Structure 1
Amino acid sequence: MFKIIVPLDGTSFAERALPLALSMAQRLGAELILLLTTGDEQKEYILAGPHQELIILNEDYLAKVKASLLDPGLPGHLPPERVRCEVEKMNPELAIGEVTPAFGGDLVVMATHARKGLYLLLKGSVAQKVLSQGSIAVVLLRPQEDIAEVPLPELLRSTGPTIPATGPVRLLVTLDGSPEAENILGPVSVFARQLEATLYLEMVYPSSYSYEESGFSNTPTTLTQKNHQTRQHALAYLKVVQQWLKTQGLEAVVEVRSGDIVDQIYKYSDEIDADLLALATHARGPLGQLILGSVATDVLRKCSRPVLLVNNTIWAREMMETDFHYNFKPEPVP
């Protein structure tokens, strides 16, 4: 069974990931694992002496969260056997990265701040640990911080970012022509099949950029010709990816845009009303920079939609049995 892990720390901010995680568990038929860690100070207390009361309090908190998820009055509530509670006596940044594989986790869903929380994620405190473990993807959600705290039962019935229980799921995938960015296609194809999603493939190039400047080909030097050629190459590239996805039983729409990459991701996600955005980490390609810490950071800061991140060094390209970047050689456009 597919397993989704939701890290919690007892705060309402962390709980804001629960509606999204619940909707994904409902759609995927997945097990939801609620993971609560004790943290630095609590860990010292645990190691120093009696800690039964502390653990009981933590387990009591998770029991209340689980009860809310099992509430028969909650639309699409989960059965008891599909919600598990775990308490770990270690720092959150260690627990999520090290314990997740032991639980057989397939996906981590968590809330993050636009700045501090994401900064910690980028520097390896939390998400870096998770992403480095292997085939574990992370979905990050940036809740609106100006919203007052909401009781959990009410939060679970809110209209925040969720995956629809039925009907189409729209998954926006941003590529930049690099093998690293293409690694997102492995997990995306898995999720898309299970979610019965339509994929939207987007490539964004700066308005004055061309493959010529990346050493791909010798092309005309005028700005108009460069941009025309770049657009044609990008479109041809996305169609190659589109055809491969079709062999996997997945439908995809292709879109090429010019301008600021973050602005264009944001605008296109609004136009198609995307349910989920997907990016590979540490990817750098000829048509953009999909680097965790720059584009991913700015996308999370600007967009309230959930973002799926994967480690580009882990999802082996052999999964896809193709190599778009090196097998596809764009020809100069007259």
Structure 2
Amino acid sequence: MYQNVLVPVNGTEISETAIPHALELAEKHDAVIHALCAYNREGGYGSLSIESAQRQEEDLQDRAQEIATAVADRAEDEGIEAVSAVSSGDPADSILDYIDEKDIDIVAIGARKRSPTGKLLFGSVTQTVLLHANIPVVVTGSTE
């Protein structure tokens, strides 16, 4: 049923909640896990020199690659084929573009948390993906 499972990650506990669900889906369907870390350069680089801005961009990209690679390595340790990817720009747009470009079948994505009344609170990225993805989206979150 599913051949490609996307798990967008950013190194937060919230995004980590989606990883076990993505792994389970991939294992059950013998699918490939795609670990995507999309980052946004908030506010630009202001008065930084060109060299400093380039160094900061490289640092962001390196950190994003570490995050995505860690998830892919975890999947491979469990015998699941995995791909790691990094994207710069608006995270929601990056996720939606990746879905189209890589023929993703399902997304497992983390949400903020549950409110005291039990209502799931969605972040803007999760909400945008939910509203605009033309594939199933599994939303996970903490139980706090």
- Does structure 1 residue 226 correspond to structure 2 residue 60? no
How many Å apart are 1:176 and its aligned residue?
0.9
Match for 1:180 among 14, 17, 22?
14
What's 1:235 paired with?
65
Greater RCO (Cα-Cα under 8 Å, separation 6 or more): 2
On the 8 A contact 1:282/1:312 being kept in 2, the answer is yes
What's 1:306 paired with?
136
- Does structure 1 residue 261 correspond to structure 2 residue 86? no
In structure 2, distance between residues paired with 1:313 and 1:245 = 24
On the 8 A contact 2:72/2:82 being kept in 1, the answer is yes
How many Å apart are 1:292 and its aligned residue?
1.4
In structure 2, distance between residues paired with 1:276 and 1:209 = 32
- Does structure 1 residue 171 correspond to structure 2 residue 5? yes
On the 8 A contact 1:209/1:226 being kept in 2, the answer is no
In structure 2, distance between residues paired with 1:231 and 1:313 = 31
CA deviation map 1:94-152 (0-9, x unaligned): xxxxxxxxxxxxxxxxxxxxxxxxxxxxxxxxxxxxxxxxxxxxxxxxxxxxxxxxxxx
What's 1:105 paired with?
none
CA deviation map 1:258-285 (0-9, x unaligned): 10111111111100011001101117xx
What's 2:48 paired with?
none
Structure 1 residue runs of 5 or longer lacking an equivalent are 1-162, 211-220, 284-290, 315-334
- What is the TM-score with the length of structure 1 in the denominator? 0.37
In structure 2, distance between residues paired with 1:233 and 1:177 = 9
In structure 1, distance between residues paired with 2:43 and 2:9 = 16
How many Å apart are 1:197 and its aligned residue?
0.8
In structure 2, distance between residues paired with 1:173 and 1:267 = 14
In structure 1, distance between residues paired with 2:43 and 2:85 = 17
On the 8 A contact 1:170/1:198 being kept in 2, the answer is yes
What's 2:38 paired with?
204
Q: Rate the CA distance shift 1:313–1:251 in 2: closer, same or farther, 3 A.
A: farther
Match for 1:193 among 18, 23, 27?
27
1:251 maps to a residue whose letter is E
Q: Rate the CA distance shift 1:245–1:264 in 2: closer, same or farther, 3 A.
A: same
How many Å apart are 1:300 and its aligned residue?
2.0
CA deviation map 1:56-96 (0-9, x unaligned): xxxxxxxxxxxxxxxxxxxxxxxxxxxxxxxxxxxxxxxxx
How many Å apart are 1:293 and its aligned residue?
4.2
Percent identical pairs in the alignment equals 25
User: What SS class does the counterpart of residue 171 from structure 1 fall into?
Assistant: strand
Counterpart mapping for 1:28-177 below 5 A: 163=1, 169-177=3-11
On the 8 A contact 2:9/2:67 being kept in 1, the answer is no
User: What SS class does the counterpart of residue 129 from structure 2 fall into?
Assistant: helix
Number of paired residues?
131
On the 8 A contact 2:19/2:71 being kept in 1, the answer is no
In structure 1, distance between residues paired with 2:24 and 2:140 = 13
On the 8 A contact 2:11/2:67 being kept in 1, the answer is yes
1:238 maps to a residue whose letter is A
What's 2:118 paired with?
none
In structure 2, distance between residues paired with 1:208 and 1:225 = 15
| Poorly superposed stretches of 4+, deviation over 6 Å | none
Structure 2 residue runs of 5 or longer lacking an equivalent are 45-50, 114-120
